[in-house]
Structure 1
Amino acid sequence: MNPEEHEELARLLPSPGEPVLTSDRHDLLKDHLMRELTEFREFRDIAEPAAPEFLDVATAPAPGRRARAPRRRFAVIAVPLATAAAVVAAVLAGAVGSRTATTDADAVDLLDRIAEVAAAKKTVPVRDDQYIYVRTQGSMKFSDNDIRILREASWTAVDGKRSGLRRVTVLVGPPFRPRDPFSSYSKGTHDMRLSRDPNVTTFRELQALPTDPDALLEKIYAGTKGEGRTRQSAALEKIGDMLPDATLLPELDAALYRAAAKIPGVSVVTDAKDYTGRSGIGLSFKERDGRSVWVFDKKSLDFLGSADEALLDVGVADRAGETPAA
């Protein structure tokens, strides 16, 4: 370990003999538990789908998934409500003050380098009649004893005027059971229709966003007003949602990273892994459920996804259900 890393660890760790959690740790635990309560409530209120094999998911998002978010599909749904409420109360009672989060200078430098690499890529021509193809892998936790690993491909209409498709392959999960309200998340491959969701940003709407980082961040703040625990955490979630599609729009992609650099609470993770275990360099952001880590290839600085959801492929397809030619 070099002196700089040793100094950074010394700064992050509590001083010897501290008998209580730091205020940052209190905040992290409190945020995580509040998120658990929210996810449990959303999971409890989900209606039974109309059909097990082919669903219309415009108004029935995946368990735990907020309707606004197009990518953050693999959520944690656990913690009994009464227990979580009691623990939240204990954490709140023990919390003393809070610290102002600052942005790490190394993280800003890294985001700037990532932005430069992104901006140098070629813009991909996309027609209105085509679909944006995104393939990911993550997990969904229904209970302590029911965690399902999913590989998901989605096709969304470029202009947002046509239905898309979500193809979910459950790699680890229970066998199909008739009348199971979550049979679309049983082992095997299942197709679900993606109807137009006004809360999801279309590719054409992404193209219309400003590429000046300050103007872009203000627009994101305005569009996520009232969401999340703080406006910063809501903005980071929105930026994370847009990153996969934005890889096809170099100027916007670069602007998103530069906008993220202006949000406090980011730091570098020197040895990070995405959900599938691919190693890279990470950027850790404080969000309402603790820390979110974006992972990038150490050599190319390509976006690999996050510790919770790996980004496997992005492209343009002529038809829903078809894999992009290149």
Structure 2
Amino acid sequence: MDEMTQVNRLRAEVPRPGPAELRAEERRLLSEIAAYGAASPAPATRRAHRSEGFRRNLRLSLRTSIAMGAGAAMVVGLGYVGTRSALQPERTVQVTPMAMSAVLQRAADTASQWDELHPEPGQFLAYELQVMFPAKLKEGGKDVRYLKRSLLKVWLPVEGSPLNGGVMASEHLEPRPFPGEPLPADAERRKGSVGAPSKLTGYDIRLDHQRTDYAFLSRLPTDPAGMREHLYRDLAQDPLADYKAWGSVGSMITQAYMPSAQRAALFRAAGTIPGVETVAEAEDAAGRRGVAVAMVNRFGGVRHEYIFDPATYLYLGERVVVVDAAAAGAPEGTLLTSTAQLKVEVADRTPEVADPTPENSGPAS
């Protein structure tokens, strides 16, 4: 067997890209080369600006990918209670940039094959999720970190801000320590507590074109070029434009619902974002295994993944994994955040809720 035959058989399970996908990969490569060579500040200044920019963007991403909620409740998380701790570095993953567009292409191609929801004004979209996110507590007068895990059920209005009648209920599951740090005693005591349904409170700080309610998403372009333009709106001069566009993709599929035509356009547009790659094996917060499309933020030291079912290409969830310990402040391979979107359905009304308490009011996290 000659060398070229051996090369051709490598990763034979990955769908072979077609001519259009190869051309798209060529455009991405040329775009990254051009961006790398562009004029930029001195290295130390650039790292400082981009690191801070990443932190701001990560906070924005968490606010928009998980619906606006009451205080810190909306950035709590529930992980999968399994045999492998989410705090342990994961085994080496196989990253395959060339297969990226094949995964998103198949997700786009199959978008119209499944039963579709048709919510109407006045109704709600009800989501069930498992989530895990870093959180802080005061202990001994100091901030201590841990990984907060929760089961969430959220009802969001079909049209308008999630604060316009949105409701959330939560259940706290067993927390996990932040890598290298002890688990706060107060975090452990919260395990098993259940939050009664309550109104979402705070401030929706998103711009109008960042809305993720069904009424708005259903009016977005149904062609990839138009959808890509939407993803990059107001980002022309932003050094983190590609990563922010990638974050917008997540905000439009996690705890958000759009018609299949817009969903297909979104997946195809996402495939044109420079730097997107495939992770051959990924697991959502509920333990469901899939294939992920991902982008690495080298200045933040994390890889942000969107996970799809390997057979149906339905969206499962997302996760953030550390790839650079120094930049991220956690060991390489650490799973920092994880979600699993378990169910989406239409509801005519929300559960009865109690009046929000003052301590639950404030900016949405």
In which range does the TM-score fall when normalised by the shorter chain?
A: 0.5 to 0.7
Q: Which residue of 107, 112, 123 maps to 1:119?
A: 112
Percent of pairs with identical residues: 24
Task: Tell me: CA distance 1:271–1:223, structure 2 relative to 1, closer, same or farther (3 Å).
Answer: same
Q: Does 1:153 align with 2:146?
A: no
Give the AA of the match of 2:345: G
Query: 1:302 — aligned with what?
Result: 314
Structure 2, unaligned runs of 5 or more: 1-5, 15-35, 37-42, 68-73, 78-95, 137-143, 177-186, 320-337, 353-365
Task: Tell me: CA distance 1:299–1:253, structure 2 relative to 1, closer, same or farther (3 Å).
Answer: same
Query: 1:99 — aligned with what?
Result: none
The 5-angstrom pairing of residues 218-237 of structure 1 reads 218-222=229-233, 230-237=240-247
Scaled by the length of structure 1, what TM-score is found? 0.63
Shift of 1:262: 0.5
Query: 2:212 — aligned with what?
Result: 201
Q: Does 1:238 align with 2:248?
A: yes
Q: Assess if the C-alpha contact under 8 Å between 2:65 and 2:250 holds in 1.
A: no
Q: Does 1:279 align with 2:309?
A: no
Q: Which aligned segments of 4 or more residues in structure 1 are displaced greater than 6 angstroms?
A: none
Distance, in Å, in 1 between the alignment partners of 2:289 and 2:125 is 26
Query: 1:129 — aligned with what?
Result: 122
Question: What is the DSSP-based 3-state SS (H/G/I as helix, E as strand, rest coil) of the residue aligned with 1:110?
Answer: helix
Shift of 1:268: 1.8
Aligned length: 244
Task: Tell me: CA distance 1:130–1:226, structure 2 relative to 1, closer, same or farther (3 Å).
Answer: farther
Query: 2:51 — aligned with what?
Result: 34
Greater relative contact order (Cα 8 A, min sep 6): structure 1 or 2?
A: 2
What are the superposed Cα offsets for residues 168-193 of structure 1, whole Å, 9 maximum, x if unpaired? Answer: 2111259xxxxxxx9xx775222331
Give the AA of the match of 1:160: G
Shift of 1:277: 1.9
Give the AA of the match of 2:170: V
Q: Which residue of 307, 313, 323 maps to 2:343?
A: 313
Shift of 1:214: 0.8
The 5-angstrom pairing of residues 1-326 of structure 1 reads 3-5=9-11, 34=51, 38=55, 69-71=64-66, 74=75, 104-143=97-136, 146-160=146-160, 162-173=164-175, 187-190=192-195, 191-195=197-201, 197=204, 199=206, 200-222=211-233, 230-244=240-254, 247-287=257-297, 289=300, 290-307=302-319, 308-321=338-351
Question: What is the DSSP-based 3-state SS (H/G/I as helix, E as strand, rest coil) of the residue aligned with 2:173?
Answer: strand
Scaled by the length of structure 2, what TM-score is found? 0.57
**Pairwise CA RMSD of aligned residues?**
3.9
Q: Assess if the C-alpha contact under 8 Å between 1:123 and 1:248 holds in 2.
A: no
Task: Tell me: CA distance 1:157–1:286, structure 2 relative to 1, closer, same or farther (3 Å).
Answer: same
Distance, in Å, in 1 between the alignment partners of 2:223 and 2:54 is 37
Distance, in Å, in 2 between the alignment partners of 1:272 and 1:136 is 17
Structure 1, unaligned runs of 5 or more: 9-22, 43-63, 77-102, 175-181
Task: Tell me: CA distance 1:204–1:277, structure 2 relative to 1, closer, same or farther (3 Å).
Answer: same
Give the AA of the match of 2:166: G
Distance, in Å, in 1 between the alignment partners of 2:348 and 2:317 is 25
Task: Tell me: CA distance 1:293–1:75, structure 2 relative to 1, closer, same or farther (3 Å).
Answer: farther
Distance, in Å, in 1 between the alignment partners of 2:265 and 2:256 is 10
Question: What is the DSSP-based 3-state SS (H/G/I as helix, E as strand, rest coil) of the residue aligned with 1:119?
Answer: helix
Q: Assess if the C-alpha contact under 8 Å between 2:61 and 2:251 holds in 1.
A: no
Question: What is the DSSP-based 3-state SS (H/G/I as helix, E as strand, rest coil) of the residue aligned with 1:172?
Answer: coil
Question: What is the DSSP-based 3-state SS (H/G/I as helix, E as strand, rest coil) of the residue aligned with 1:69?
Answer: helix
Shift of 1:157: 0.8
Give the AA of the match of 2:158: V
Task: Tell me: CA distance 1:304–1:146, structure 2 relative to 1, closer, same or farther (3 Å).
Answer: same
What are the superposed Cα offsets for residues 33-76 of structure 1, whole Å, 9 maximum, x if unpaired? Answer: 9369937xx9xxxxxxxxxxxxxxxxxxxxx5668514285479
Question: What is the DSSP-based 3-state SS (H/G/I as helix, E as strand, rest coil) of the residue aligned with 1:309?
Answer: strand
Give the AA of the match of 2:342: L
Which of 256-265 and 144-153 deviates more? 144-153
Task: Tell me: CA distance 1:217–1:37, structure 2 relative to 1, closer, same or farther (3 Å).
Answer: closer
Question: What is the DSSP-based 3-state SS (H/G/I as helix, E as strand, rest coil) of the residue aligned with 1:210?
Answer: coil
